[in-house]
Structure 1
């Protein structure tokens, strides 16, 4: 029987999480920007809290709650809800390697981030590329509401369609 764990990210997890991220980019094209510096992408100064998912002791997934940094989902939620930006955080950097899927780790990681948001009085928002249909199904199953659509710009003038979501009420 395979054993899964979701726990807070520790500095010692960085190499394993970076390797998992590089693998996910190779199989799924996430993130679309690429991962030239996976450690820096995972440990951005905007990260408020993060968790890893393990399968049989190996890091196979990750999620972070991040301070807003100009995301369309944040401005959409401020406009629609009237909430102040300092009461909003962004669920980001969610990934699980292909070989570890079907263990509900994506759901467990998302639930950890949602619990953090509730405990800290923060409304979580996110955007997800329309190509990532499994992620969209996960968020909708967990009660996230679509709040709008946007175009995610990256690279040299490239863009991809994305859907913005807000987490359910605490």
Structure 2
């Protein structure tokens, strides 16, 4: 029997410094975010201007994970979700900034955070979508285990770096300085009523 997952609650401003530290601590093991160190404060990676809501996982007094639900910003990823689902951008919400303390691996913390974001998207009547860098197999497996389906993929031509993301942007894997092509999977989960979607 595995230990209970941490408690999930809405993120508070006081959580942000601990989350910024945790983001850096887990990055070496998970590779998330792909670009590290960030060209701006980690706090600005965690807290996004396009947030609909955000949650933290806590274990006692310790913050051990984070997830956000975000409005979709114009860009190729939003275009891919629209093409795959047939839904307008306002009918979707992106799950993002999901990371967990590696010491909590196997306790269901990531799954619990993911469920909070997906549940909130559905309460709002929106289809949850996300993107993931395929070089992060643990993240890909988490999403597949929860019924998410790959609905598209995008990559970059070798040797051609993407434009840098706008400061604090939500398009996370558009990173300068990668030596190999950046292959992103655009993933959608939803109600099962739209073409190409599976129940999540």
- TM-score of the aligned structures, taking structure 2 as reference length: 0.78
In the aligned structure 2, how far is the partner of 1:29 from the partner of 1:101? 15
Tell me the distance in 1 between the aligned counterparts of 2:63 and 2:85. Answer: 37
Q: Deviations over 1:98-155 (max 9, x none)?
A: 1111110000000000001000011111111111111111111111111011124312
Correspondence for 1:154 among 156, 159, 175: 175
Aligned residue number for residue 62 of structure 1: 66
Residues 38-74 of structure 1: CA distance to partner in whole angstroms, max 9, x if unpaired?
1111112111111111223211110001111235442
Distance, in Å, in 2 between the alignment partners of 1:62 and 1:7 is 10
Report the equivalent of 2:134: 130
Q: Which whole-Å deviations, capped at 9, do the CAs of 1:23-51 have from their partners, x for residues lacking one?
A: 11232221012234111111121111111
Contact 1:2/1:56 (8 A) holds in 2: no
RMSD over equivalenced CA pairs, Å:
1.9
Quick one: structure 1 residues 88 and 57, their matched pair in 2 at CA, closer, same or farther if it must change by over 3 Å?
same
**Is 1:79 the equivalent of 2:83?**
yes
Structure with bigger helix share is 1
For 1:1-170, what aligned pairs fall within 5 Å after superposition? 4-34=6-36, 35=38, 36-151=40-155, 152-156=173-177, 159-169=181-191
Counterpart-to-counterpart distance in 2, 1:58 and 1:146? 34
8 A Cα contact 2:9 2:55, kept in partner: yes
Secondary structure of the equivalent of 2:135? coil
Unaligned 5+ segments in structure 1 are: none
1:156 shift after superposition? 3.6
Query: How many residues are aligned here?
Result: 170
Which piece of structure 1 moves more, 66-75 or 135-144? Answer: 66-75
The answer as to whether partners of 1:73 and 1:125 remain within 8 angstroms in 2 is: no
Greater strand proportion: 1
CA distance in structure 1 between the aligned counterparts of 2:33 and 2:148, rounded to whole angstroms: 21
- TM-score (norm: length of structure 1): 0.91
**Structure 2 segments unaligned to the other structure (5+ residues):** 156-172, 193-200
